[in-house]
A and B are shown apart, each in its own frame.
Chain A
Amino acid sequence: GENVEQHPSTLSVQEGDSAVIKCTYSDSASNYFPWYKQELGKRPQLIIDIRSNVGEKKDQRIAVTLNKTAKHFSLHITETQPEDSAVYFCAAGDTGRRALTFGSGTRLQVQP
């Protein structure tokens, strides 16, 4: 089955700096890669996703890149703010499985 590795497990940045979280996946059939943000005690919330027919997608301060050849994808957050502090999860899925496999999460702390 699919295996998703996520790094780093914790990340601390200064407000205004950029943050990058990286994930690798094992199943070449995976074609959908969402990112979720989870604040303490809350549900995971989808923040951005990318599908295999594009290499990059941006939404204001966040962007995701995908390299299908290398089987890795990354989340980029620019101009970080204290409210970006949360746990971020990557995931991989495909139409055949109809389910997502999640990475283990990255705890991002933005220092004011």
Chain B
Amino acid sequence: DAGITQSPRHKVTETGTPVTLRCHQTENHRYMYWYRQDPGHGLRLIHYSYGVKDTDKGEVSDGYSVSRSKTEDFLLTLESATSSQTSVYFCAISEQGTSGRALTDTQYFGPGTRLTVL
């Protein structure tokens, strides 16, 4: 499964508390992503990273921050968790495509973290 782990795998927390989720890869891939998955919405991009200390926002970034101080680790932080952030969070990594002119990376997902905010 592409050498991706996420921790914790399950977490229950209370509204207003800070929460940090960790994604760790052993593939030395440059790109890492955080998605959330909610019923009826598929997977929505929160933030992504294209290198150490290089990050950018996705479509649902409000209320989340990220950090990447090492190639292998990408952290997602909820500064003050809200019930609307109850979700399953997936990390993904990508490798460089090699086919023809289209070089968009192929993404592989971690096992996910189920977060419940009460």
Which chain A residues have a beta carbon within 8 Å of chain B's beta carbons? 1, 6, 31-32, 34, 36, 42-46, 49, 51-54, 89, 91, 93-95, 98-105
Q: Which of A6, A53, A89, A91 contacts B102 (CB 8 A)?
A: A53
For the complex, what is the distance from the CA of A98 to the CA of B50, rounded to whole Å?
Answer: 8
Considering residues A1, A6, A98, A101, which has the most beta carbons from chain B within 10 angstroms of its beta carbon? Answer: A98
- Asked whether, in the complex, the Cβ of B99 is within 8 Å of the Cβ of A44, the reply is no
CB nearest to A103 among chain B residues: B42
Give Cα A111–Cα B8 distance, bound, in whole angstroms: 36
The residues of B with any CB-CB pair to A shorter than 8 Å are: 1, 31, 33, 35, 40-45, 48, 50, 58-59, 90, 94, 97, 99-112
Given known A-B contacts A43-B109, A43-B111, A44-B109, A100 and B45 have beta carbons under 8 A apart: yes
Closest to B91 in A: A43
22 contacts between A and B (CB under 8 A): A31-B101, A31-B102, A31-B104, A32-B102, A43-B1, A43-B111, A43-B112, A51-B97, A51-B100, A51-B101, A52-B101, A54-B100, A93-B104, A94-B104, A95-B102, A98-B104, A98-B105, A99-B33, A99-B48, A99-B58, A100-B45, A103-B42
Closest 6 CB pairs of A and B: A32-B104, A51-B102, A102-B42, A31-B102, A43-B109, A53-B100
Are B59 and A1 in touch, CB under 8 angstroms?
A: yes
Distance from B65 Cβ to chain A, minimum over Cβ atoms (Å): 17
Q: Tell whether A51 pairs with B99 under 8 Å between CB atoms, given A43-B1, A98-B48, A104-B41.
A: yes
Kindly list chain B residues whose C-beta atoms are within 8 Å of the C-beta of A1. 59
